[in-house]
Amino acid sequence: MFMSEQQDTSGKVVSVKDQVVEIEFPHAKPAIYDLLVLESNKDVVFEVYCSSAKPNVFYCLCLTNTKNLYRGARVLNVGSQIMFPVGQELLGRVVNIFGRPIDNKGLMNAKKYRQIHEIKNQADILTKEEILETGIKVVDLFCPILKGGKVGLFGGAGVGKTILLTEVLHNIVGSSKKKAVSVFAGVGERSREGLELYNSLTKSGVINSSCLIFGTMGENPAVRYLTAFSAATLAEYFRDEEEKDVLFFIDNVYRFAQAGNEISTLTSNLPSEDGYQATLETEMAHFHERVVATNKAAITTFEAIYVPADDILDHGVQAIYPYLDSIVVLSRQMYQQGILPAIDVLSSTSNSLHPRIVGRDHFETVLKSKAILKQAESLERIVSLVGESELSVEDQLIYKRARKIKNFMTQPFFVTESQKGIKGVSVPLAQAVNDLAGIIDGRYDHIPEEKFLFVGLISDIKIDE
C-alpha cells in the first residue's frame, strides 16, 4: 500500500502544562523543531521539542500565550523550523525570536531567511591567535581576548556585568564599523536594561552596525531559551555569507541554562543530582559550537554569566567553563570598595596569556603584578590588625604598589559618562603595559595611590605642586 501524497500532518492538543503542550499526531509524526500553528488561530505558535512517553504524542513548546488552548484543539504542522530573517536589513533594529521588529521602526523587508536550528558543516574552523583590544586596561592586560575566541564575564547580581559588556561593545564596534558587525542576544534579562543598551548604542552611533534580539525576563522559558539560537543564526549568516567579523554578545548565558531547566521540569524529565536538567551539557554544546571562527571570518563571543549567590561552583555556571578562552571574574568586594570595573585579576585568566601570543614584555609584566597582588593579599590581615606602619620596609613597598596597581586598573567608561560625569577613555594596550611595568619597577612610588583612581594613562595624572 502506498501512502497518499497529501498525508494528514495535523495533531490535537492532549494537555497543557504552562508553556509545554502535549500534542498527539495520529497520522504523520512531526520532526523535532518543526513549527506548528493552531488551526483556529494562526498566531498561536508551537515548536516540537521532544517525544513523550505516550505513543504518537510529542511535547511542544508554546511560543505565544496559551489562553486560547483547550484539549482537542486541532494543530497544523507548517513543515519547517522557525525561519529567522537575515541580512543587512536587520542592522540597527531590535527584534524578537521570530525576527519581528519591536523597536517601533516599522516592518523590515528581509529577503533571506534561515532555520534557527540549522546545523552547519564546521570542517573549516580556524583557530586564530590575533589579540582583539577592548581599550579596557584590566581586560587587555590580564585577560587578553583572541579574535574568534569566547570570553565569559562572571559575577553575581549588581556587580557590573552588563555595563562591562556594553563598554566592550561600544569600544570594539565603534572602532571597526566597516569591518565588523555586532549581534546582541538579550536572554532573560530586564527590559529596562535592554532599553538602556539601545539608547546607549544609538547615542554613540554604534546601533547602525548592530542588531539586538531580545527574549526578556518577562517572556516564557521557551522564548528565552530560543533567543540564543535565533541570535546565533544571524551571527552565522554575517560570518558565512557577508564574510564579516562578528562580535556576538549574550546577556545572560545562565538565564539560557535556567530556561532549559524550566522546560525540562515541565516535560517531566528527572533532573541530575545537582538539580539542573540532565541535558544541560548538550544544550550548552549546541549553542557554543555554532559561534566559532572559520576561514571566512570570525565570531568573537562575549558572554555575561550570572553567578547565583556568588557561588562560582554552581553547576549551571561550571557547564559554561569548557567553551571559554578567557574568564573575567567580577568581585562584589571590589565593587563595594569602588574599584570599577570590579574585576578580580587573581581569579581571572586567559588561554592567550602566553609570551608567543601577547609578547614577552606583556607576559612578564602581568606575572610580576599578580605576584605583588598575591603578596599584598597575604599582608592584608596583618594590616587590618596592627596597621601598615608595622610592616617591614620591603612589605610596605609591596603593599603600596599593590594598592596602586588595583587603583590603576579602574577606568572611566564611555557608557557611564552621563551617570558618573567623567569622560570615558580607551587605553592602548602597549601604553597600559608600559605604565603597569613602571608601577612595578617603582618609577611612580612618589605619586599618592589615590591619584591612580579612574585615569586612563599615568601621564594623565595631575600631581599637585
Determine the Cα–Cα distance for residues 343 and 328; give it in Å rounded to an integer: 7
Q: What is the CATH number of the domain that holds 178?
A: 3.40.50.300
Catalytic residue, candidates 74, 112, 190, 443? 190
Determine the Cα–Cα distance for residues 329 and 14; give it in Å rounded to an integer: 46
Partners of 315 in the β-ladder: none
Partners of 22 in the β-ladder: 15, 59
List, for residues 27-66, the tens digit of each pLDDT value.
Answer: 889 999 999 999 999 999 999 999 998 899 999 999 998 9
Tell me, yes or no, whether 51 lies in a domain.
yes
Residue 1 predicted with pLDDT over 50: no
Are residues 233 and 138 part of one domain?
yes
Catalytic residue, candidates 22, 133, 167, 189? 189
Number of domains in the chain: 3
Query: What are residue 3's phi and psi, to 5 degrees?
Result: -75, 145
Are residues 389 and 346 part of one domain?
no
Cell of 390: 608595622
User: Is position 161 annotated as part of the catalytic site?
Assistant: yes
Which of 163-172, 248-257, 269-278, 378-387 tops mean pLDDT?
248-257
Catalytic residue, candidates 150, 161, 244, 290? 161
Asked if residues 238 and 181 have their Cβ atoms less than 8 Å apart, the reply is: yes
- The enclosing H or E element of 141 equals helix 137-142
Are residues 230 and 339 part of one domain?
yes
> Coil, helix or strand for 199?
helix
Residue 383 predicted with pLDDT over 80: yes
Tell me, yes or no, whether 2 lies in a domain.
no
Are residues 89 and 51 part of one domain?
no
Select from 29, 54, 77 the last residue of a domain: 77
Domain that holds residue 18: 11-77
User: Is position 189 annotated as part of the catalytic site?
Assistant: yes
Prediction pTM value:
0.91
Are residues 252 and 196 part of one domain?
yes
Are residues 365 and 351 part of one domain?
no
Q: What is the CATH number of the domain that holds 422?
A: 1.10.1140.10
Tell me, yes or no, whether 313 lies in a domain.
yes
List, for residues 91-128, the tens digit of each pLDDT value.
Answer: 999 999 999 999 999 888 899 999 999 877 666 777 66
